[in-house]
C-alpha cells in the first residue's frame, strides 16, 4: 500500500510511533524516524533495516524550529520525497487540578504537543505543496475532543492540535495535501503506564487495578492496545482514502460519544 513512499514519523522510539514504523515498513514504506531519545530509536531502525526497510533516523526536538528545518531537509535530500508525515511525538503531565498546575508544566505540554505539530506542518507543507500531494496525520487524543479532568494542560494542547489540523486542511485541500487528526483514548503505551502509576501511587493500588479503574470510564470497559489504534493510521494515510481531510477521528472505545 505504501511501496516507495517516504513516511516521516516523530516520537518513533516507542508506543504508537514504534508500532506504526513497523506496520508502514511491512507495507513497503521508506521511513524517516525521529525521537528525542536515540538509543531505542536506533535499535528499532536496525530491526527494520534487517527486514529490508530503508530507514533514516534523527534526534529531533519537536519544539525547536531549527531541528525541524534540518530534519525535513535531510529527509528530502535522502529520499527525494515526503509523502506522509505523522506528527506523533507528545507528552503528558502529572495528574492535577488546573489551579495547581505550574506555568512551566503547562508551557512544556503546549510546546511539545501543540508547538511541535505546528512546526512540523510548517516545514512539511511546503514540500508537499510543491509536489502537489501529500498526507499529514497529527496524533491528538480523545482529550482533544472532550474535557479531561486532572489533565487540563494536555487537553488544551490536544484541542489545539485538532484546531491546527482543521485549519491547515482547509488551507491545503486544493493543493493536494490531506490533513487529519487521530484521537485515541486510553491505550497501553508508556504514556498511559505513567498515568496508571500515578493513580496507583495516590490510591495505594497496583498498576493493573489502576488500569481497571481508568478503563471503567470507557464505554467498552477497557483500554485499547496500540495494535487496535495503528491500523487507523494506515487507513488515514492511504492514497486510496483520498477524500478525507480536516477530520478528527476518534479511536476511543466510545469515550467521546457520551
Mind telling me the catalytic residues? Answer: 154
Would you say how long the chain is, in residues? 258
Beta bridge partners of 180: 137
Residue with cell 487537553: 155
Q: Give the three-state DSSP class for 93.
A: coil
Residue 42 in grid coordinates = 536506533
Angle 185-138-51 from CA coordinates, rounded to 5°: 90
Let me know: does 87 contact 137? Beta carbons within 8 Å.
yes
Beta bridge partners of 254: none
Residue with cell 482514502: 241
Give phi and psi for 184, each to the nearest 5: -80, 155
Beta bridge partners of 134: 177
Interhelix angle 39-50/15-26, rounded to 10 degrees, is 20
Which parts of the chain fold into alpha helices (H)? 15-26, 39-50, 65-79, 103-110, 116-131, 152-172, 190-203, 207-215, 226-237
Let me know: does 203 contact 218? Beta carbons within 8 Å.
no
Beta bridge partners of 55: 31
Amino acid at each position: 500500500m505504501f511501496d516507495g513512499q517516504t513516511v516521516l514519523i516523530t516520537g518513533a522510539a516507542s508506543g504508537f510511533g514504534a508500532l506504526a514504523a513497523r506496520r508502514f515498513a511491512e507495507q513497503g514504506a521508506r521511513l524517516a524516524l525521529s525521537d528525542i531519545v536515540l538509543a531505542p530509536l536506533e535499535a528499532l531502525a536496525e530491526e527494520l533495516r534487517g527486514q529490508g526497510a530503508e530507514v533514516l533516523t534523527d534526534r529531533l526536538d519537536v519544539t525547536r524550529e531549527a531541528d525541524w528545518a534540518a530534519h525535513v531537509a535531510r529527509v528530502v535530500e535522502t529520499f527525494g520525497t515526503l509523502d506522509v508525515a505523522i506528527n506523533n511525538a507528545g507528552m503528558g503531565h502529572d495528574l492535577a487540578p488546573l489551579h495547581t498546575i505550574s506555568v512551566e508544566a503547562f508551557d512544556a505540554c503546549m510546546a511539545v504537543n501543540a508547538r511541535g505539530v505546528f512546526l512540523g506542518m510548517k516545514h512539511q507543507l511546503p514540500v508537499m505543496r510543491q509536489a502537489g500531494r501529500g498526507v499529514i496525520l497529527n496524533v491528538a487524543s480523545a482529550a482533544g475532543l472532550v474535557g479531561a479532568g486532572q489533565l487540563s494542560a494536555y487537553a488544551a494542547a490536544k484541542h489545539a492540535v485538532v484546531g491546527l489540523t482543521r485549519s491547515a486542511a482547509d488551507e491545503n485541500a486544493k493543493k493536494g495535501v490531506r490533513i487529519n487528526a487521530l484521537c485515541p483514548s486510553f491505550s497501553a503505551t508508556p504514556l498511559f503506564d505513567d498515568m496508571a502509576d500515578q493513580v496507583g501511587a495516590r490510591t495505594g493500588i497496583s498498576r493493573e487495578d489502576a488500569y481497571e479503574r481508568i478503563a471503567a470510564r470507557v464505554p467498552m470497559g477497557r483500554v485499547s492496545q496500540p495494535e487496535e489504534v495503528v491500523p487507523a493510521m494506515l487507513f488515514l494515510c492511504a492514497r486510496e482514502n483520498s477524500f478525507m481531510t480536516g477530520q478528527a477521528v476518534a479511536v476511543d472505545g466510545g469515550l467521546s460519544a457520551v
